[in-house]
Structure 1
Amino acid sequence: MLVMIITSGRKQLTSSAAVRFRGTGCSILSALQDLSVAFLPCRSKMEKHLQVISVLQWVISFLALGAACTFLLIYMFCTDCWLISAIYTAWLIVDWNTPKQGGRRSSWVRNWTVWTYFRDYFPIRLIKTHNLLPSRNYIFGYHPHGIFCFGAFCNFGTEATGFTKNFPGIKPSLATLAGNFRIPVLRDYLMSGGICPVNKNSIDYLLSRNGTGNAVVIVVGGAAESLQCAPGMNTVTLKNRKGFVRLALQKGSDLVPVYSFGENDAYKQVIFEEGSYWRSIQRRLQKIIGFAPCVFHGCGLFFGNSWGIVPYCNPITTIVGEPITVPKIEDPTDEMVDLYHAMYIRSLQCLFDKYKTRFGLKESDILYIQ
């Protein structure tokens, strides 16, 4: 009965009533749209805050997590919590060689949501140019170093840019200073992202005793290159860096040039002239502590035009180039190393020249190799 009344009522609606109804519906829809537009700035602002926090936590972790955890571990030995420190220290001794044996990567950590905010802050993109065969092992040469290797970490230490989807069957391992893996807690944090020590034992394990489909990512320029990074500079330290080529020949692993446009734009750095007093201090400290103490700044946490340690949100685009097939030679001659080193340099230069105008550089810009 109720259905019949409703149906009858619907039939008796006049055209003017229908128009008024449609008008009301449009006004409601318009109000909802206005409401959503009003909330967009708030949502956008919140996302930006989360992006800043995600980047800042990585920067602080890199700069202070190791020192803070070491101090806390020593301090706890002098308190009633000494047993916790003792247990962790004992476990640390037992687990000491794990970083050299493939580490302890965690898919859960590599897929944390925080890394998507990290990626979107700059933003960071990964571009694939050629397929990689899971039946081979690879050594990626990453350029340039930048201050904190944001592109290298985001692309190869997390899944934020979808490395495993772009390169199915390939497992990346970003290599960094071996000294980081002697520091409590920091070592576990790094290993969870698939990061390994950049030493012979670790790389030998990944390329010789861990099957195929492994890609060891080496920031070839290292600490010396970080002293040359600044916005607008396209300089890589490579001319006398041949160890990674010799290693590729010994293991029969293909070489893959990788270049990140925008990596040097994350911070502004004070670059001292070669031969100056301050540059000599930087070089000396680099030899002692393993990394170069750069004098740099980004933007402030609350005011974009102030100085701080938050990097500038300039795009970083990482291009993975074409692999260079390398034969396996257990004891390669210097001539053979020089041959493949020259091939690698040409491949990197071609990669840079092909993509430079697409990512903010001019046709006249060139890649300087030191």
Structure 2
Amino acid sequence: MKIISSIKGAGYTCLELVVMAAFTSFFFTLPLNSLYASLILLFFGGYMVRSVLIIYTAIIYVRHKFNHSPVDGNGCMLMRDNVISRIYRNYFPVQLIKTAELPPNKNYIIASFPHGILGTGICINMAFDISVWLKLFPKVRPKVGTLNQHFVTPFLRHFLRCWGLISVSKESLMYFLTKSNDPKHSDNRDGFTSNAVAILVGGAQEALDSHPGQYILTLKSRKGFVKMAVRTGSAIVPSISFGEVDIFQQVANPPGSKLRNFQIAVKKQTGIAPLIPLGRDIFHYPFGVVPYRRPIVQVIGAPIDVVKNANPDAAYVDELHGKVMKALEELFEEHKAKYLPNASNTQLIIN
């Protein structure tokens, strides 16, 4: 019986590794592969293929420009709650910890830190496998904001929309964060009355600082999410994903180095930082694109309520921004001993 149990356990581990390798490779390369596929069809496809591609691209561009590619409701649940996504979750594993209620009578901005290489914890909990979220926060729809340009890229936009990702543009956020919370409103026929939009506030800049054991946040100059919260009356919810920075190593890129300067230059032009992550492979060699098997625990803090104002006052924005920084520091200190192996020597740094 012990031998059979061991074989089953090993088989499941192999399955996890295969799923993780396939999913991570797919996710890493999806933006570029979508672009390459479009270019190949454009230059090497026949007249009919080229015509369809051009018309299709024009349609999605115009539709996104006018309606911001919204995904109302919870989108395609087949893509957001399935066996593959649960295997993906269990590989690390990824947990979601609730510390306070999120009443479904208002909308929320989940201010998520740190970005890490891929924002894996937040994406699993609020995009790829939302079953745990829906149990902890009933009637609150989880959504994750990502780069606006992804939604005008052929093929890529459809995958993102199926996973419930939305554009992080001002117009898109306004659309979702001003949705009615009235149970009788036609937008809430699915039984949900609230939208919670996760924003990885530190973005690509924070990703550049992602190294194992280092919690370096890019926040001091990031106040746009606070202004958006005030304009829409959405509560701000601080969130920290412990272990997010540990699943990948990254080629050394200290500030001022040639690599870091190159990455910053590319980021300014494209909005995307060309990271060089180092993981493992499925045969246990110490290199590859598969993330290391390290626990990720996303802790959701208590909401910070705001007073709605279409024209946010600078002093009020600074006040709220200070509350967010303080809440993140307190959340980190309160929970790090539970979820970090070297907690006493790990500090939260806010840049």
Equivalent residue of 1:72, what SS? helix
Q: Does 1:308 align with 2:292?
A: no
Q: Is the 8 A contact 2:21 2:281 kept in 1?
A: no
Residue by residue, what CA displacement relative to the aligned partner does 1:272-325 show, whole Å, maximum 9, x if unpaired? 2222222211110111121111222011221x2421111100000000000001
Specify which of 211, 224, 227 is matched with residue 243 of structure 1: 224
In the other structure, the counterpart of 1:103 is: 71
Shift in CA distance, 69/223, structure 1 to aligned 2, threshold 3 Å: closer
* In structure 2, C-alpha distance between the alignment counterparts of 1:344 and 1:306, rounded to whole Å: 38
Q: Does 1:50 align with 2:15?
A: yes
Specify the code of the residue in structure 1 equivalent to 2:335. Y
Equivalent residue of 2:260, what SS? helix
* In structure 2, C-alpha distance between the alignment counterparts of 1:161 and 1:305, rounded to whole Å: 33
In the other structure, the counterpart of 1:338 is: 318
Specify the code of the residue in structure 1 equivalent to 2:138. P
In the other structure, the counterpart of 2:188 is: none
55-64 or 224-233: bigger deviation: 55-64
Specify the code of the residue in structure 2 equivalent to 1:126. L
Residue by residue, what CA displacement relative to the aligned partner does 1:105-135 show, whole Å, maximum 9, x if unpaired? 2111101210001001100000111111111
Q: Is the 8 A contact 1:101 1:205 kept in 2?
A: no
User: 1:65 deviation in Å?
Assistant: 2.5
Specify the code of the residue in structure 1 equivalent to 2:5. L
Equivalent residue of 2:237, what SS? strand
User: 1:330 deviation in Å?
Assistant: 1.0
User: 1:87 deviation in Å?
Assistant: 3.6
Q: Does 1:354 align with 2:334?
A: yes
* In structure 1, C-alpha distance between the alignment counterparts of 2:127 and 2:154, rounded to whole Å: 19
342-351 or 177-186: bigger deviation: 177-186
User: 1:327 deviation in Å?
Assistant: 1.0
Matches within 5 A, 1:182-331: 182-209=152-179, 211=181, 212-302=193-283, 304-331=284-311
Number of aligned residue pairs: 334
Residue by residue, what CA displacement relative to the aligned partner does 1:12-46 show, whole Å, maximum 9, x if unpaired? xxxxxxxxxxxxxxxxxxxxxx3xx3222332222
Equivalent residue of 1:135, what SS? coil
Shift in CA distance, 160/51, structure 1 to aligned 2, threshold 3 Å: farther
* In structure 1, C-alpha distance between the alignment counterparts of 2:180 and 2:350, rounded to whole Å: 33
User: 1:53 deviation in Å?
Assistant: 2.6
* In structure 2, C-alpha distance between the alignment counterparts of 1:358 and 1:243, rounded to whole Å: 32
Residue by residue, what CA displacement relative to the aligned partner does 1:66-114 show, whole Å, maximum 9, x if unpaired? 3333333443456676545644553443344357242362111101210
* In structure 1, C-alpha distance between the alignment counterparts of 2:137 and 2:244, rounded to whole Å: 22
* In structure 2, C-alpha distance between the alignment counterparts of 1:127 and 1:358, rounded to whole Å: 12
Equivalent residue of 2:343, what SS? coil
Structure 2 segments unaligned to the other structure (5+ residues): 182-192
* In structure 2, C-alpha distance between the alignment counterparts of 1:85 and 1:111, rounded to whole Å: 35
* In structure 2, C-alpha distance between the alignment counterparts of 1:159 and 1:299, rounded to whole Å: 23
106-115 or 210-219: bigger deviation: 210-219
User: 1:356 deviation in Å?
Assistant: 0.4
In the other structure, the counterpart of 1:176 is: 146
Equivalent residue of 1:215, what SS? strand
User: 1:237 deviation in Å?
Assistant: 0.7
Equivalent residue of 1:317, what SS? strand
Q: Cα RMSD over matched residues?
A: 2.0
Residue by residue, what CA displacement relative to the aligned partner does 1:146-200 show, whole Å, maximum 9, x if unpaired? 0011101101102355111110010011001112222221110111011011110
- Identity among equivalent positions (%) equals 31
- For the pair shown, the structure with the greater C-alpha radius of gyration is 1
In the other structure, the counterpart of 2:35 is: 70
Equivalent residue of 1:318, what SS? strand
Structure 1 segments unaligned to the other structure (5+ residues): 1-33
Shift in CA distance, 342/80, structure 1 to aligned 2, threshold 3 Å: closer
Specify which of 87, 109, 118 is matched with residue 139 of structure 1: 109
- TM (norm. structure 2) is 0.89
* In structure 2, C-alpha distance between the alignment counterparts of 1:163 and 1:209, rounded to whole Å: 20
* In structure 1, C-alpha distance between the alignment counterparts of 2:9 and 2:53, rounded to whole Å: 42
